[in-house]
Amino acid sequence: MAKLGKRTRAAREAFAGKEELSVEQAVALIKSAASAKFDETVEIAMNLGVDPRHADQMVRGVVGLPNGTGKTVRVAVFARGPKAEEAQAAGADIVGAEDLMETIQSGKIEFDRCIATPDMMPVVGRLGKILGPRNLMPNPKVGTVTMDVAQAVQNAKGGEVQFKVEKAGVIHAGVGKVSFDEAKLVENVRAFVDAVAKAKPAGAKGTYLKKIALSSTMGPGVSVDVASASGN
């Protein structure tokens, strides 16, 4: 068995025997235990009572975190003419049409969010096998296929987080940085949990929010009391 480093061992000891904490307790513990040389991301993982293989149990959506993510989001926009100019003026990092498609096909993906005007979807559609698995495919349900590209770019840059349930019924996302104030992290966590709760699909049976855990990028996870995580 690999020998644990001092930092990892200390973090595990700090978390030992602690579970089903309130959001406030979990955030305080994660902040106190984070010791990496960079500003770690605080990550949330939610286990949902759904089977996403069934269309009526798919969970996806978007939430604007009240205090942002602390992450610089690179945005690519598929648009032409005035809409391309609008996207650039709003701060998009990459703007293009067929040229952007060819760049992506060559394997160069230098963005975290992809937005498109509706008329560009026939072009973007050819990239489904590349963008789909990376959860980068523009989708009207989360506001990334839109004529209001300026607003979409501003939302992406301003702390908007997309979520989509994976095969095992798990959703995970970054909800801030360990350098954030505890109160701001707690507020972000509750906003994210509430957004996922509101996205409950019609086909979900039984317990929907089954388990919630928080962690930092390099730290162990801690389970959070589900009732405590809801802002409602």
Token code pair at residue 110: 């230098």
Q: Which of 137, 156, 175 is the last residue of a domain?
A: 156
> Does some domain include residue 197?
yes
**What is residue 215's DSSP assignment?**
E
103 and 135 together in one domain: yes
130 and 150 together in one domain: yes
State residue 109's pLDDT score.
Answer: 96
Cα 96 off chain centre by: 25
Helix and strand numbers (H, E) in the chain are 9, 9
Rg (CA), the chain: 19
State residue 35's pLDDT score.
Answer: 81
Residue 44: give its domain's CATH number.
3.30.190.20
Mean pLDDT per block of 10 residues along the chain (232 residues) reads: 52 60 95 89 96 93 93 96 98 98 96 97 97 93 95 93 92 95 97 96 92 93 90 58
State residue 1's pLDDT score.
Answer: 42
Q: Looking at the DSSP assignment, which residues form a beta bridge with residue 212? A: 46, 224
> Does some domain include residue 121?
yes
Q: Which of 140, 156, 172 is the last residue of a domain?
A: 156
186 and 149 together in one domain: no
Domain that holds residue 199: 18-67+158-222
Say what the pTM is. Answer: 0.82
Residue 140: give its domain's CATH number.
3.40.50.790
State residue 4's pLDDT score.
Answer: 45
